[in-house]
């Protein structure tokens, strides 16, 4: 029984002479018997004939081929020269000493492996840098980068700042009271002498504080300055007045 769909599905194969002789004869009989299948067959055959005619017509003129062949010949000779160069290079390489071959040997590595190795290298480098940065002293930034400098990196300077260690020495001086009359002229003279002596001692201490500390005066016995020393001059009554 004729089935148009089945026949039409096989028309292309029939056109290309693919089916065996028995199938081919049966299909041809069906194409001749059925008007629709026949029309389909003829239209497909016309399509292929048009393609074949176009194929024959698409060949360039004869005048085209010499220049085509000349161009191809040039490219072939260039490729032959390249091949000879490569062969010569390979021969030279084979005759080279072992150490030279070893030094110039290259290996092919798959791209993913190479990428992974590069990433690992970068990660290790960054880790080492971060470790080094952690152990280094904190930099002192003296001035923030000027905004007008744009994208330039901030400049970091390390400056050693000398710390002046000052010592404040406190020394209590007792100056005899001027109104003391009991002492008479001797007392006044002794007071003046003591005052001069005290003043001279103080000026020496101001000039050379550490030395003053090192050489205790007679009236500062038992005085032990600690970290800081305050010098106080008290003008007032004599110790005997107290």
Q: Is 7 exposed, middle or buried (0-12, 13-18, 19+ CB in 10 A)?
A: buried
- Interface stretch with other proteins, choices 83-91, 106-114, 124-132, 155-163 (CB under 8 A): 83-91
Q: Residues 54-73: x/- map of binding to other proteins (CB under 8 A)?
A: xx-xxxx----x--xx-xxx
Minimal distance, residue 145 CB to other proteins, in Å: 51
Minimal distance, residue 103 CB to other proteins, in Å: 29
**Which pairs with CB-CB distance under 8 Å and at least 24 residues apart come from 232-235?**
232/170, 232/171, 232/172, 233/171, 233/173, 233/202, 234/172, 234/173, 234/174, 234/175, 235/175
Single out the residue of 4, 29, 33, 79 in contact with other proteins (rule: CB under 8 A): 79
Among the listed residues 122, 152, 156, the one whose alpha carbon sits nearest the alpha carbon of residue 138: 156
Establish if 128 lies at the interface with other proteins (CB under 8 A).
no
Minimal distance, residue 117 CB to other proteins, in Å: 30
Q: Could you tell me how many residues of this chain bind other proteins (CB under 8 A)?
A: 44
Q: Which is nearer to other proteins, 46 or 228 (CB)?
A: 46
Whether 241 and 207 have beta carbons less than 8 Å apart is answered as no
Q: Which is nearer to other proteins, 41 or 174 (CB)?
A: 41
| Element (DSSP H or E) covering residue 95 | helix 64-95
SS3 state at 224: coil
Single out the residue of 16, 98, 99, 158 in contact with other proteins (rule: CB under 8 A): 16
Single out the residue of 13, 32, 228, 241 in contact with other proteins (rule: CB under 8 A): 13
Q: What are phi and psi of 234, to 5 degrees?
A: -110, 115
Rounded (10°) angle between helices 21-33 and 35-57: 110
Q: Residues 30-49: x/- map of binding to other proteins (CB under 8 A)?
A: ---------xxxxxxxxxxx
Establish if 80 lies at the interface with other proteins (CB under 8 A).
yes
Note the residues at the interface with other proteins (CB under 8 A): 9, 12-18, 24, 39-55, 57-60, 65, 68-69, 71-73, 75-77, 79-80, 83-84, 87
């Amino acid at each position: 029984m004729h089935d148009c769909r089945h026949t039409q599905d096989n028309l292309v194969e029939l056109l290309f002479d693919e089916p065996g002789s028995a199938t081919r004869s049966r299909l041809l009989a069906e194409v001749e018997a059925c008007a629709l299948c026949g029309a389909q067959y003829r239209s497909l055959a016309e399509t292929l004939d048009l393609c074949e005619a176009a194929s024959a017509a698409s060949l360039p003129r004869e005048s085209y081929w010499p220049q085509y062949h000349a161009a191809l010949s040039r490219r072939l000779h260039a490729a032959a020269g390249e091949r000879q160069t490569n062969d010569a290079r390979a021969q030279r390489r084979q005759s080279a000493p072992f150490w030279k071959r070893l030094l110039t040997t290259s290996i092919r590595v798959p791209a993913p492996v190479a990428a992974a190795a590069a990433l690992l290298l970068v990660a290790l480098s960054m880790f080492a840098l971060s470790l080094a940065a952690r152990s280094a002293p904190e930099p002192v930034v003296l001035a923030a980068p000027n905004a007008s400098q744009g994208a330039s990196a901030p400049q970091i300077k390390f400056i050693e700042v000398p710390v002046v260690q000052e010592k404040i020495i406190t020394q209590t001086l007792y100056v005899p009271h001027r109104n003391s009359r009991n002492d008479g002229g001797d007392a006044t003279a002794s007071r003046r002498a003591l005052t001069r002596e005290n003043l001279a001692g103080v000026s020496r201490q101001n000039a050379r504080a550490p030395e003053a500390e090192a050489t205790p005066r007679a009236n500062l016995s038992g005085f032990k300055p600690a970290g800081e020393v305050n010098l106080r001059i008290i003008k007032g009554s004599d110790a005997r007045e107290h």
